[in-house]
Homo-oligomer: A and B are copies of this chain.
Amino acid sequence: MKRDRASDGKAELILNAAIAVFAEYGYHKAKMAKIAEVAGVSAGSIYLYYKNKASLLSHIFEMTWEMMIAITSDLTRRRDLTPPEKLDLMVDQHFDLFHLETELARVLVNEHYTWCQLAEARFNACLERYFADIDSLLGEGQRTGIFNPHIAAVTFRHVLFGGMRRLLEVWAGSPDALPIGRIRQDFKVLLKRGVLLP
């Protein structure tokens, strides 16, 4: 489930180097030569494992989206949790996913648009599956009378995604400056209860 940074595979090695370099410089300023250097291979070797620079980014995103989709997919199918509990767990698992992967989080939030431009088709496929799960979570809550039935799925979906992305963005920018534990609790409360006192 988690990327094995100590893997012996060259492909893995290179991908991890790409994550580190993209995180530090951003995709457009990142140089293939620097990625090769960090990975400890030659520049030419990258192309034995990845088609080009863009495909490095694609792999990073797809790998991560698979993990994120796995989380939401498992969650929404569970029968032992109420929708609010599922919501809480989803948020927690997302934060856990990136907790030790600051660099990955940085690439994910900063290069989201770059990725969209690269690979619109695949990008849509990932997001659709992801959002379908969130929608079903919301729908379940609305059908059972726990969630506000007036809130459109499209809104909920993007506020959840956008809020979480922003929190990760800020945290990943300076991981030690933010109380990540506190923030995720607040986020869960906000999502469920809003800012108004009842």
Contact = CB atoms under 8 A, between A and B. Distances in A.
Interface string A93-114: 0000000000000000111011
A40 interface: no
Interface residues of A, number: 50
| Most-contacted residue by chain B among A84, A155, A182 (CB, 10 A) | A155
A49 to B, nearest CB: 16
A183 B111 CA distance: 26
Contact of A187 (B150, B155, B165, B196): B155
Given A26-B113, A146-B197, A195-B148, A187 B159 contact: yes
What copy number does this chain have within its complex? 4
Contacts of A163: 158-159, 162-163, 166
Interface in A113-168: 113-114, 117, 138, 141, 145-148, 150-152, 154-156, 158-159, 161-167
A67 B138 CA distance: 35
Contacts of A167: 155, 158-159, 162
Contact of A166 (B159, B170, B191, B196): B159
Interface of A: 26, 28-29, 84, 87, 109-111, 113-114, 117, 138, 141, 145-148, 150-152, 154-156, 158-159, 161-167, 169-170, 178-179, 182-183, 186-187, 189-198
13 contacts: A138-B195, A150-B189, A152-B183, A154-B170, A158-B166, A159-B166, A162-B165, A162-B166, A162-B167, A163-B166, A190-B194, A192-B195, A194-B194
